[in-house]
Structure 1
């Protein structure tokens, strides 16, 4: 993986009201748009942008986050974490991948540079909401190595 200084780390972010704050110390593995129906409902939009990060690379300030757990059709438990005060959806953690989390990049303080390299769950995408990305997958990511390599070679960086 690319050195952290190529990403201008650390980054800061948090919820809408400012109660829940965090710092990102490790570079993302890749960024994606998720068109699954859960992301559509949780984001109140056509898709949600997710940034796959090492879980140890995100340091949370002392804050009390709300957790909502749902068992996906695959049987995997997906846990959504939000600010208890304003409800901002901050990240998702999946029980089958405890070493990573999916940060909702809209919660970064500086996020103008963020763009997805892939879109997933396109089978449930709104027809008008499809994106022009390097990868377009009808379901979940089955081979993350391809996305990780493509993201590392991309020009998607802050700055």
Structure 2
């Protein structure tokens, strides 16, 4: 029981939901108890599943009308259920149009303090964090590598000879916790660039340029495993400090 996770889901359904849609949705949710399976053991991922309509007379329901309480053997089983289990993923997609709002919390019995569970990472996805830990994010990279930028702005903002970056689709970066501050400046293109950074420790997370609205420039050295990634390219080479290439030999 020590590792058991209780997964609590509250729903507020859309006002225009039909009874037949609700009944089908409810039956599909309850069926997950037997149809959502562990790929290694073939056994159900859900240890227990309870559901029902709110019947409390206290005025604290925040508009949520129905609750579902699921128990999982451990965090790994819950993570697989949420991110990879095909029956649950299909159910979630079909349920989306029926739900106006939802609330989800996960608890481990008796654990009152400590950090939350980390969201499992997908293929090519990396966890990032600022120096103080106040902001956490994930970024998806097609290749684990750095592109060095020698522009004067990166040198000024970072206080170093270059920054380590990669251009990725805007939607491939997700802020998991915390809220970045924003500093806006005019880039070499003449258009605005927004620099997102931690307001406490000033770690720079990513830049978003008006000149390429669907892309962002993520700071790859702040990602887990970043120090082990190779540098495979560079930009603004004209701004490269003269001693950068010779630095390793000079300091031997």
Judge same fold: TM > 0.5, yes or no. Answer: yes
What is the number of equivalent residue pairs in this alignment? 125
Question: Mapping of 1:72-91 within 5 angstroms?
Answer: 72-91=187-206
- 1:24 and 1:58 in contact (8 A); partners too: yes
Equivalent of 1:71 in 182, 186, 190: 186
- The answer (yes or no) to whether the contact 1:39–1:47 under 8 Å persists in 2 is yes
Does the C-alpha gap of structure 1 residues 120 and 31 become closer, same or farther in structure 2, counting only changes over 3 Å? same
Q: Distance in 2 between matches of 1:67 and 1:9?
A: 27
Structure-2 separation of matches of 1:9 and 1:29: 8
SS of 2:171 mapped into structure 1: helix
Match of 2:234 in 1: 119
**Aligned partners of 1:90 and 1:17: how far apart in 2?**
13
Residue of structure 2 in register with 1:19 after alignment: 134
Query: CA distance change for structure 1 residues 116 and 57 in 2, over 3 Å: closer, same or farther?
Result: same
> Which residue is equivalent to 2:24?
none
- TM-score, normalisation: structure 1: 0.70
Kindly report which structure 2 residues correspond to 1:4-153, keeping only aligned pairs within 5 A, or say none.
8-27=123-142, 31-130=146-245
Supply the distance in 1 between the matched residues of 2:145 and 2:229 (Cα, whole angstroms): 10
For structure 1, which runs of at least 5 residues remain unmatched after alignment?
Answer: 1-6, 132-159
The 2-side partners of 1:126 and 1:45 are apart by: 10
Decide whether aligned partners of structure 1 residues 60 and 17 sit closer, same or farther in structure 2, where only a CA change above 3 A counts.
same
Gaps of 5+ in 2: 1-121, 247-252
In the superposition, relative to structure 1, how do residues 106 and 31 fare at CA in structure 2: closer, same or farther (>3 Å)? closer
Q: Deviations over 1:59-117 (max 9, x none)?
A: 11242211111112431211111011111011111011111111111211221332222
- Counterpart CA distance in 2 for 1:9 and 1:28 is 7
